[in-house]
Structure 1
């Protein structure tokens, strides 16, 4: 049975896996404070909404702003959100060599975002969730080995 690595809080041993971890990325011609800022901003087509989220002073605030349905969600969001997350993670792990090394150091472990707050990106707290964030991290780890 492969080792399982749970992550969620940025203060945990594997907190660098979290989208809230303080690693800025360059994407679409701008610097984003965290992958969470980038991901949440991409939910909207309005440049003003995107910029407000980019400037949010914490990833938690960016996440809250991204969930605010007073802002107009882009119509194709459900079909592009995984690609947007993949793009954010690709930027994070190619722009921060230390993180790329840490990701490779996880070997063949199963990476799981362990939280009951999310059963799509996380495991739902009981393992029943989709763990899409963990899956994308493992996919990135694998593809960077082949590169």
Structure 2
């Protein structure tokens, strides 16, 4: 069976979205969402990254991160998957209620159900890379192996 997710308001799997309001600590700072963290890391070490972290809404953080008015860090393409892995892992490790939801998915396939993103989701053809779903699956396995949650 496959679990399709997209909107942060979907129950119970909306927490799989990077837009879900589950804060966590990373790099000594509080991040309101994993989207805030991910978008800010495109500009790590700059004032623009801090503007993204402090954005009052996840939509504003996403917009600030997608601007090309500021140069992306040079290694972005090489580190973006690791940045997402860290954001997802920290989010689920620091929020027990959603960690339990993730663990309760058993061995089900997790798919970000977006037609507009062929990298992070399934894309319009359904054949996208689904990297977010794969990272969630890896986080689920890593959490189980570490004994960090029980269902």
Settle same-fold status: TM greater than 0.5: yes
**What TM-score range do you get, normalising by the shorter chain?**
over 0.9
Matches within 5 A, 1:23-38: 23-38=22-37
What does residue 105 of structure 1 align with? Answer: 104
RMSD of aligned C-alpha atoms?
0.9
Matches within 5 A, 1:7-18: 7-13=5-11, 14-18=13-17
Q: Compute the TM-score of the two structures, normalised by the length of structure 2.
A: 0.93
**Can you list the C-alpha shifts for 1:2-51, whole angstroms capped at 9, x where unaligned?**
x1000000111211000000001101110011000000000013420111
**Can you list the C-alpha shifts for 1:67-102, whole angstroms capped at 9, x where unaligned?**
100111000000000000001011101100111111
In 2, Cα distance between the equivalents of 1:5 and 1:63? 24
State the secondary structure of the residue aligned to 1:31. strand
State the secondary structure of the residue aligned to 1:103. helix
State the secondary structure of the residue aligned to 1:74. coil
2:2 pairs, out of 4, 12, 20, with: 4
8 Å CA contact retained: 1:114, 1:125 = no
In 1, Cα distance between the equivalents of 2:58 and 2:23? 11
Matches within 5 A, 1:128-147: 128-147=127-146
In 1, Cα distance between the equivalents of 2:31 and 2:128? 28
In 2, Cα distance between the equivalents of 1:59 and 1:141? 24
**Structure 2: runs of 5+ lacking an equivalent:** 147-151
Q: Compute the TM-score of the two structures, normalised by the length of structure 1.
A: 0.95
In 2, Cα distance between the equivalents of 1:32 and 1:142? 24
What does residue 67 of structure 1 align with? Answer: 66
Number of equivalenced pairs = 145
